[in-house]
Structure formats: C-alpha cells, structure tokens
Amino acid sequence: MSRRKLAAGNWKMNGLAAQLAEIDALVNACPAPGCDVLICPPATLIAPMAQRAAGSVVAVGGQDCHARDSGAHTGDVSAAMLRDAGASYVILGHSERRADHGESDADVRAKTEAAWAAGLVAIVCVGETEAQRDAGEALSVVGAQLAGSLPDGATAANTVVAYEPVWAIGTGRTPSNDDIAEMHSHMRARLAERFGAEADGMRLLYGGSVKPGNAREIFGLADVDGGLVGGASLKAADFAGIVEAAG
Ligand SMILES: O=C[C@H](O)COP(=O)(O)O
C-alpha cells in the first residue's frame, strides 16, 4: 500500500499576524511538494492563514476542538467552527492537551467523532512518557491510548495517527530508528486488528524533535508516513527542508 506522506506543522501557542508571512515563504519554497503539507496555527490565525494559503498546496488545521458543536463552553472552539474558518484537519489528544487540560482517551475519542462530523481529518496523538519507556511500558501504553482514543469509524481518509514520545517533544532528543520503527509497526498491527485492511492506508506520523537534518532518515523508516513537527515548523526555511524530506 502506498501512502502519501504528510508533513504537518504544529505551531502550538506561537504566532501573531506578522508570522503569516511564513506561509507565503513556505508556499514559495514548496511550489509542488511530493507530500501533503499542513500547518496548524493557533486558533486566532486559522482564518487568515486559510485565506492566505487558499489555492496553494498548504492545508490549514486546528490544534484542538470541543466535543460539542456549540453551546455554553467559554473559551472553547468547535470542530464546525474550525471548518468554517477554513481548517481541514485538527490535532487531537496532543500530550500537551492531555497534560495541561487533563484530556483522557475518552475525551479524545469524543472530539474525534466531532471532528469527523464537521468534515475534518483528525490527527490523533499518542505517546509514552520517559518513565513509561524506562519501565518497558511504551508499547502497551501506546496500544491502550490507540484503543481508547480512536472511535470505531476510523478510516484512512478521516484519521491520521501521530506517535509522539513525550520525552522527545521540544528536547532535541529522538528515539533510535529501531525504536521508532518498532512502535510504528506495533501501531499498524494494532490498527489492523481492529480496522482490518483499512489500517494499511492510515498514515502514521512521527513527532518529537523532527528537524531538517533528521527528517529524511526518520521518514524513510517502515510505517512512518511523515511527521508532526513543532519548533521546526515555525520558520518556513526549516519546514521547507522537512517537506522536501517527506516528498
Ligand atoms: O506537535 C508537535 C510535537 O509536539 C513535536 O514538537 P517538537 O518538534 O518541537 O519537538
């Protein structure tokens, strides 16, 4: 099964209107990439970024959504609102959301259902802490997160899974290639048990200190279908190198 790779940037809580110029630079640097390209800016920049990127190869996504469409949820944003602002993807269950906002697998599953209902592709994040890896629990922890966070209706078209070891995020550290390959193979097998042949088409991203200098090697590993990139997605020059590696 050939899966088109995805280079996804997560700007996290970074970016003011002035940074929208990075999108122009990215579009110029990557006029015809051989992979899908996505930037997930903070919610305040989704609409202007989507307008700026309209007609280009760069898709725009959210970093979270509420499980409900609308209502009395001060400060929250629904999947329908993201879609209305021009998003086509949403990151769900990022470890920073799980840690900062206490999001459970059940919460992530409900948000994923909401994302699909709004026509968004869900990028569902999983990953172990360093203590869990040291205890030999990485595979079982990620397997349980996958089982709990993905609803039954997951398909290759509506879902992307991102494996992000918590200890590799923003640290400059990455797992060994063998460890990444082992985890991605494990995830593919768990998905195949549950979703059958559909799992062959699901894209599995690696995230955690992906840089232009290591992206090609990581994206070349079996069952790695691109990356979810934090810090190195903020500057078009860096992210263009990662897009190039994925293409
Ligand atoms: O969503 C992105 C990840 O948390 C990775 O962040 P990082 O590339 O800054 O390590």
Tell me: pLDDT of 101 over 90.
yes
Tell me: pLDDT of 47 over 80.
yes
pTM here is 0.98
Q: Please report the domains of the chain, with CATH numbers, ordered by start residue.
A: 6-246 (3.20.20.70)
Residue 200 has a pLDDT of: 97
The residues, any chain, with a CB within 8 Å of residue 203's CB and separated by 6 or more, are 3, 4, 5, 6, 156, 160, 161, 225, 226
Which residue, by CA, sits nearest to atom 2 of ligand 1?
Answer: 230
Q: What is the pLDDT of residues 128-138, one digit of tens each?
A: 999 999 999 99
What angle do the packed helices 236-246 and 212-219 form, to 10 degrees? 20
Assign 25 to helix, strand or coil. helix
Residue positions annotated with a catalytic role: 94, 164
Tell me: pLDDT of 42 over 90.
yes
Ligand 1 centroid – CA 172 distance (Å): 10
Ligand 1 centroid – CA 231 distance (Å): 6
Residue 2 has a pLDDT of: 82
Tell me: pLDDT of 1 over 70.
no
